[in-house]
Structure 1
Amino acid sequence: MLNSEQLKILHEADSDTALSPEFTEQIAAQADASQLTNEQLLEFLKICNVLYRGGEPLISDYLYDSVFLAELQRRHPHHPYLETVEPEKAFVGKTVTLPERMLSTDKAYRQEEINRWLTRIEKAAEEINIDPSSLIFRATPKLDGYAAYDDGKILYTRGDGRKGTDISRVFERGLIVGGNGKRGQGAGEIVVGQSYFNTYLADYFENARNFQASIIREKELEPHALEAIQSHAAVFYPFSQLPDWYGPAAEVRANFHEIVTEVRSLVDYDVDGVIFEVTHDAVKKHMGATRHHHRWQIAYKNNIETATVKVLNVTPQTSRSGRVNPVAELEPTRLSGAMICRATAHHYGMVKEQGIGPGTIIELTRSGLVIPKIERVITPHPPQIPDRCPSCGSELVWDSDYLYCLNTTQCPAQIENTIEHFFRTLANVDGFGLKTIEKLHAAGVNSVYAVYQLNLSQLQSMGFGDKTAQNLLDQLQRSRTEAIEDWRFLGAFGIYRMGLGNCERLLQHYHLTDIFKLTIEDITNIEGFAEKTAVAVVECLKKVEHDFMQIYQLGFNLIRTPWVRERQQTSSPISGKTIVFTGTMLHGKRDDMKKEAKRLGAKVADSVTGKTDYLVTGSEVGASKINAAIQKGVRVINEEEYLALLNG
């Protein structure tokens, strides 16, 4: 059966279909379109599209394209559905005409299809007397986000490609523009950082598309969604700003898989393929577009592998916040080159509703290095729902779809995960992974402060070897002497609703040691803090104040966040510039140079685009990287020239 969220999406979309939920699920399970009538096939395609746009896909992209859409194309090559843009999910707001049409992208799943597309491009060039060998192709990551269009005044959903909905409210909520940060650069996608999603949002949203759809809705955002926006983890990324690869058709054919691998890794967002396009304007104009897609552009999408897998067990795991999360233990299955034994079941509401327990048969998907995902339940079985915390044995309580352990002060898992979170967030200390912390906690160490009080003989008595014990002490010393930002230090305490973005925002207005005196009004006066967040922050700061001051007084080398008024007074030669650092630096660590550049008002990026102002090179930088930057009009300077620029 379709789950409750999928049924809700179909209801909100006013999807009046003749297919029952049971029959829809049966079609998806069989993955066979040949026995469907034309009407059933079309209805099923529409249902799949609505659920995909709503963040709750029924089948994989590959099945949609290669089985069901291909069947419609075989029966009716000129069916109107094949020539229309699949509509995005509708949102509350006035429907408005887009400044220009937003088409879909033609898709390919094999290199042979890309090669045929290249040949068509070359023939089109010859038709207008352009040498095919002179053509340059651009390849960019195919973002798996939420398509939108920004004309500088309004941000539109893609809608049906001609009319969309005004969702400019997301900019009012703090959403920024990726790349050079400027509004009005046309089509793009709303995306969220993959690493940020896995760390901070995976407990709340089943997938990134689900999160992206949530931040567009008119209703008030949930705190963790708002924090993602304010931390600049979620952005609207214009296609024109994406990092890219350029080269001739011959190179695409010769090094296709290497190019795809390189381009997919250029951004830390969900990517489901690579988009290739010819850059020659005359060729683009000559080739034109269908009512569905531009002929001069194509998307290569990796075939996402799926497998039917049996669930052996569902294991509860208690997190730092006390939330108990279900992990499905699976029959070992090889998928996308890896042996998969576990997959997240997201939350116990899902386990209960869909019947995930020993013996459940699920469809598992994995593409590339993406975390394995339960695509759907094929055969449900009685679910396993714990009533006590697997770590401390305390009784669990339900909060919406989630189970919580409220024994915050004595639960081993919460204590260990809290300590691990502290050192992981500091990011300047090694050796304190969960295994080490479990060993420390078993010996009676139950707080971060207690870790810092350890000496060599104590560590040795706990079973650590002489060398390991000394290394741990050296790392603790390093964590106090190596410079880190004060907002990172604050974020290490895991204060509710205070991710790193909110920590930095707060410290732009108040000194680190003064924040415990703040009132709700003080915090709500800071842009980006809602009253609910302020109430929670004030309450949580009181709870951690004692532990915070104990650890703070150990003496850490903290870089103070420049206050807003100080930043306004700061002027430097690189203020407002976009800089990329590459290679090994001689005058200091690259991370330190990045921090200094940010302090001086520059925007530091990880990859070069046409909007990059400076590529600062150290040693051991390949000539191809430098030449690619020069071709994009980027000024390339070495480390000495950069330092001279700062001292100008």
Structure 2
Amino acid sequence: MPLLLSPEQQEIVDMYAGDLTSATFFAIVEGERQPKELSDSELLDFLQLANFLYRSGEPVISDGKYDFSFLNELRRRHPDHPFLGAVEPEAAAKTVELPERMLSTDKAYNFSTIQRWINRIEKAAHESRKNFSELQFRVTPKLDGFAAWDDGTRLYTRGDGRRGTDITRAMERGLQVAEGGLRGLGPGEIVVDQKWFTMKLAGTFENSRNVQAALIKEKELDPLVEETLREGKAVFYPFSLLPDWLGPWAELSADFTAIVERIWHLLEYTTDGVVLEIVDEEIKRRMGDTRHHHRWQIAWKQNTETVEVRLIAVVPQTSRSGRVNPVAEFPPTRLCGAFIRRATAHHYAMVRDLKIGPGALIRLSRSGEVIPKIEEILEPGEVQIPQNCPSCNGKLIWEGDWLVCPNQLHCPAQIVNSMEHFFKTLGNIDGFGPSALHKIYNGGVRTLGEIYALSEGDLQKFGFGPKQAENIVAQLQRSLREPIEDWRFLAAFGVRRMGAGNCEKLFAVYPLEKIFSLKIEQIKGIKGFSEKIGGELVDGLSSIRREFDQLRALGFTLIPTPLPAENEAEQGGASPIAGKTFVFTGSMAHGKRDDMKKQAKALGARVGSSVSGSTDFLVCGEKVGSAKLSRAKKHLGVQIISEAEYLAMIG
């Protein structure tokens, strides 16, 4: 029987079909065309389309088929493909900005990684003049569910960490908070009782993930899902309510295995490890965050496997920076439950020195990661060093350990990968994955400015459908209107050594107007920058100045980074909130909560993500969860003030 699409499914297919025709899409879903028969663009378009349908609660293929057939085929062909390492996004038309950003969790698969994490915490304790032996650690089960955020009124999926989908309808249908908890406890996961799943749902759903997707979809619920909600067998479990172990590191390390095993299996829901975190709020602030995860928290997982394989070839692939990365190919090999055919060899100096080539026998590991890692070379092979770029055929040169294509302006791989990096870093635009960008490149477009000048008619000439073309133009306009930080805009240009972290450091000291005129000595004076890095940044900034000015002139809505010195001057001296710790909660009437946090930091205040004993003020907007207020007032003695009182406080 041919596949019939619902109106919601058809809307997503129309928007995200890419190179796929309707006939091709149906043929893939019904098994008439296998993954290995698809072109790269067809495979990627189908993966993205199937993902959007799944995340919208309208799946057309099973989780297993998606992972082990289509995703593994992409992994076999392109083991370093960005799609494999990113949070798979939700459909753009369904996303909204989250109340707060949801970070991922760093992972450890061996105790030495845990020990390095502990060493960093011990260093932070020493810098804070705290006794490390008295610090408390918390160990909780790591839920394997559907990540979401509850602000007390709305429930959101995690999405890409910055933008998610409003799924409040799940609460309205009967989704309960676990442990009889109240609404508004922030991040957590939607999970399904595993015994209930085995007894009631396994005959209909392949796994609990499919049930989670079904209970948040817009259409009428499946009767089995309704019963699951009615019986309280699917819940939203806030991380703050998880059962835990609390104690000092000496006690945890002395009985690590037993404690981990006990906590891991405490719940009746699927778990894939435990999460370790430091409890002390001051240490948390000192440890800080990366763009990906909190440094004060780490997940312990145990699923490392190894296998020995003999290489068939080492294939070169050109990256955004021009570096040519070697990818080792071998016969299909099962590792950690999946068949793999490729692994990265890092750089060609490693290939040359370790003799990685056809015939080499290597040991691979895959510690729960998407891309396998070469652990050891057991027998050398025939070394083959490419002379020309696999993308543009230009002559390659050596730069340290790396082979590099210097043909920046005319190398297709560098141009397309740089475009993709720009849109991905902006974070306020969807629909510009590799497939769409390759199609735009093949239409003759070579610069970001040319992309922003495209009309719907231009895009249709490149092969996009009318609906796709309309949505692409709309997304481009959205990226101009939606505010983004000035440092993020600069980071999107992909200058070497100028990732988001370094850009934010620069803008914390110098305004945008001065960034491009900075000297090496000025950059070197900023904490974390050396003279060598300063030289690279000066050269890199010079190389993008023209394109930066052209794009900025299009009208991007940039949020200036507050400068502490300027804010202090505006206050007529020391800031009235300097040294105080604030937590902001609820919906603010005078601006975004993230902007208020940035302003508070610029005025010398500390900003926490949750209320603790070290919190001085809890600033409340509208729609604040009662649990947070109760904890702040009754148990911690925190002073609760309104948004208006806070604004009056800072003048």
**Structure 1 match to 2:365:** 365
Map residues 99-114 of structure 1 onto 2, 5 A cutoff: none
| CA pair 581-563 structure 1, distance change in 2 beyond 3 A | closer
* Match in the other structure for 1:254: 266
Q: Tell whether 2:306 aligns with 1:320.
A: no
Q: Check the 8 A contact 2:429/2:479 in 1, yes or no.
A: yes
What is the CA distance between 1:482 and its match in structure 2?
Answer: 1.0
Shift, 1:645, TM fit: 4.2
Give the Å deviation of 1:429. 1.1
Within a 5 Å distance, the mapping from 1:235-254 to structure 2 comes to: 246=244, 254=266
Q: Cα deviation per residue 1:267-323 (whole Å; 9 max; x = unaligned)?
A: 55698865xxxxxxxxxxxxxxxxxxxxxxxxxx62522222343332212122111
Residue 114 (structure 2) aligns with: 143
**Equivalent position of 1:451 in the other structure:** 451
2: CA distance, partners of 1:141 / 1:633: 36
* Cα pair 1:426 1:484 within 8 Å, conserved: yes
Distance 1:438 1:370, change over 3 A: closer
| 1:557 equivalent in structure 2 | 557
Deviation at 1:390, TM superposition (A): 0.8
Is 2:490 aligned against 1:490? yes
CA contact (8 A) 1:141 1:264 kept: no
Distance 1:302 1:635, change over 3 A: farther
8 Å CA contact retained: 2:244, 2:263: no
C-alpha distance 261-549 of structure 1, shift in aligned 2 (>3 A): same
Per the alignment, residue 516 of structure 2 pairs with 516
Deviations 1:20-59 (A, max 9, x none): xxxxxxxxxxxxxxxxxxxxxxxxxxxxxxxxxxxxxxxx
The code of the aligned residue for 1:555 comes to G
Bigger drift between 587-596 and 486-495 goes to 587-596
RMSD over equivalenced CA pairs, Å: 4.5
Unaligned runs of 5+ residues in structure 1 are: 1-106, 110-139, 156-176, 189-241, 275-300
Structure 2 residue 433 is the aligned partner of structure 1 residue 462: no
The equivalent residue for 2:481 is 481
What SS does the aligned partner of 1:320 have?
Answer: coil
**Which residue pairs with 1:388 in the alignment?**
388
Tell me which amino acid in the other structure corresponds to 2:508: Q
- Residue segments in structure 2 that go unaligned for 5+ positions in a row: 1-107, 136-239, 247-258, 279-292
- Equivalent in the alignment of 2:377: 377
Q: 1:596 to 1:330 in 2, by over 3 A?
A: farther
Distance of 2:623 and 2:601 partners within structure 1: 24
Letter in 2 for 1:143: I
Aligned length: 406
Distance across 2 between alignment mates of 1:376 and 1:577: 51
Following superposition, the deviation at residue 256 of structure 1 comes to 8.8
Return the TM-score normalized by structure 1.
Answer: 0.53
Between 327-336 and 436-445, the greater mean CA deviation after superposition: 327-336
* Structure 1 position 480, deviation (Å): 1.2
Change (3 A) 1:146 1:447: same
Structure 1 residue aligned with 2:128:
182
Counterpart-to-counterpart distance in 2, 1:141 and 1:625: 37
Residue 375 of structure 1 deviates from its aligned partner by 1.3
1:341 alignment partner in structure 2: 341
Query: CA–CA distance in 2 between the matches of 1:337 and 1:376?
Result: 21
1:403/1:442 Cα in 2 relative to 1: closer, same or farther (>3 Å)? same
Deviation of 1:262 after TM superposition, in Å, equals 5.3
1:143–1:273: 8 Å Cα contact kept in structure 2? no
CA distance in 2, matches of 1:341, 1:270: 35
Q: Deviations over 1:433-454 (max 9, x none)?
A: 2222121111111111111111
SS class of match (1:479): helix
Task: Please identify, of 363-372 and 411-420, the stretch whose mean Cα deviation from structure 2 is larger.
Answer: 363-372
Matching of residues 51-70 of structure 1 within 5 Å? none
Cα deviation, residue 599, structure 1: 4.7
Matched-pair contact (CA < 8 Å) for 2:264–2:274: no
Q: 1:615 & 1:545 partners in 2: Cα distance?
A: 42
The amino acid that maps onto 1:556 is F
Q: Which amino acid aligns with 2:440?
A: L
Greater mean deviation of Cα atoms: 360-369 or 258-267: 258-267
1:426 aligns with 2:426: yes
Deviation at 1:554, TM superposition (A): 0.8
Residues 243, 607 of structure 1: 8 Å contact kept:
no
8 A contact 2:356–2:383 mirrored in 1: yes
- What CA distance in whole angstroms lies between the structure 2 residues aligned with 1:329 and 1:459? 36
Which amino acid in the other structure matches residue 430 of structure 2?
Answer: D
CA contact (8 A) 1:141 1:273 kept: no
Q: Secondary structure at the match of 2:439?
A: helix
- Describe the shift of the 1:573–1:516 C-alpha distance in structure 2 as closer, same or farther (beyond 3 A): closer
Q: Structure 1 residues 108, 560: CA separation in 2 closer, same or farther (over 3 Å shift)? A: closer
Counterpart residue type for residue 315 of structure 1 = V
Shift of 1:386: 1.4
Higher relative contact order at CA 8 Å, sep ≥6: structure 1 or structure 2?
2
| Change in 2 beyond 3 A, CA 1:562/1:390 | same
Q: Secondary structure at the match of 1:392?
A: coil
Alignment of 1:119-158 (within 5 A): 143=114, 145=116, 148=119
Alignment check: 8 A CA contact 2:497 2:537 kept: yes
Q: 2 CA distance for matches of 1:253 and 1:141? A: 23
Q: C-alpha displacement at 1:611, in angstroms? A: 5.5
Name the residue aligned to 1:401: 401
Aligned-pair CA distance for 1:150 = 8.2
1:225: which partner in 2? Answer: none
Query: Contact conserved, 1:243 with 1:609, CA < 8 A, in 2?
Result: no
Change in 2 beyond 3 A, CA 1:598/1:460: farther
**DSSP-derived class of the 1:263 partner:** strand
Query: Which aligned pairs between 1:210-225 and structure 2 lie closer than 5 A?
Result: none
Against the structure 1 CA distance between its residues 271 and 485, is the aligned structure 2 distance closer, same or farther, given a 3 Å change threshold?
Answer: closer
Instruction: Output one character per residue of 1:492-541: Cα deviation in whole Å (capped at 9) or x when no partner.
Output: 12223323233233333433233333333443444444332332222222
SS of the residue corresponding to residue 261 of structure 1 reads strand
- In structure 2, what is the Cα distance between the partners aligned to 1:363 and 1:338? 16
Which residue number corresponds to residue 286 of structure 2? none
- Aligned equivalents of 2:241, 2:533: Cα separation in 1: 35
- CA gap 1:342/1:646 in 2 versus in 1, 3 angstroms: farther
Offset of residue 423 of structure 1:
1.3
Report % sequence identity: 46
Distance, in Å, in 1 between the alignment partners of 2:600 and 2:441 is: 40
Instruction: Give the structure 1 partner of residue 41 of structure 2.
Output: none
1:474 Cα offset (Å): 1.2
When structure 1 is superposed on structure 2, of 302-311 and 345-354 the one drifting more is: 302-311
Deviation at 1:401? 1.8
Which residue in 2 is equivalent to 1:160?
A: none
The amino acid that maps onto 2:114 is L
1:368-395 per-residue CA deviation (whole Å, 9 max, x = no partner) reads 3464211112233213321111111111
Offset from partner CA, 1:188-231 (integer Å, 9 cap, x none): 9xxxxxxxxxxxxxxxxxxxxxxxxxxxxxxxxxxxxxxxxxxx
SS at match of 1:367: coil
Flag the 1:583–1:271 CA change in 2: closer, same or farther, 3 A. same
Structure 1 residues 452-476: Cα deviation after superposition (integer angstroms, max 9, x where no partner): 1111110111111111111111111
